[in-house]
Amino acid sequence: MYHNQSRLDLQFLLSLLQIRLPYLNHSPSIYTGNDYTITITGIGKNASYKGCDRKKQCIEIALASDYQDGHYIWKDGNYQYKMSPLDNGNYQLEVIDPNGKVILNVSVRPNP
């Protein structure tokens, strides 16, 4: 009985890895605009965010807080980072401070 339980545990673990592997292997999408570079790696709520300014000061967030129909939200403390698709293939990046004020609003385009 113990041997069968170990086999089931191993099969369960392997099934979890198979579900996660596509997200781990997803190539990053890079967007640029107004001296900002945004890198999104992964899909949906499993997407990570890395945003850098022209001085190479960056912030990284491991997982999206919300994702729906191409709209991403990442949270870092009380700050929100929103990426919303535009009709032309670009994205609108908004950074919102803890008081709800938009402190950055810039259009970014995909890098080829």
Domain limits, the chain? 27-110
Query: Please, is 91 exposed, middle or buried when counting C-beta atoms within 10 Å of its C-beta (0-12, 13-18, 19+)?
Result: buried
Q: pLDDT tens digit string along 56-86?
A: 999 999 999 999 988 999 999 999 999 999 9
Q: Model-level pTM?
A: 0.74
Q: Are the C-beta atoms of 97 and 86 separated by less than 8 Å?
A: no
CA of residue 74 relative to chain centroid, distance: 7
Say which CATH topology domain 27-110 has: Lipocalin (2.40.128)
Q: Are the C-beta atoms of 68 and 83 separated by less than 8 Å?
A: no
Q: pLDDT tens digit string along 18-64?
A: 444 444 446 899 999 999 999 999 988 899 999 999 999 999 999 99
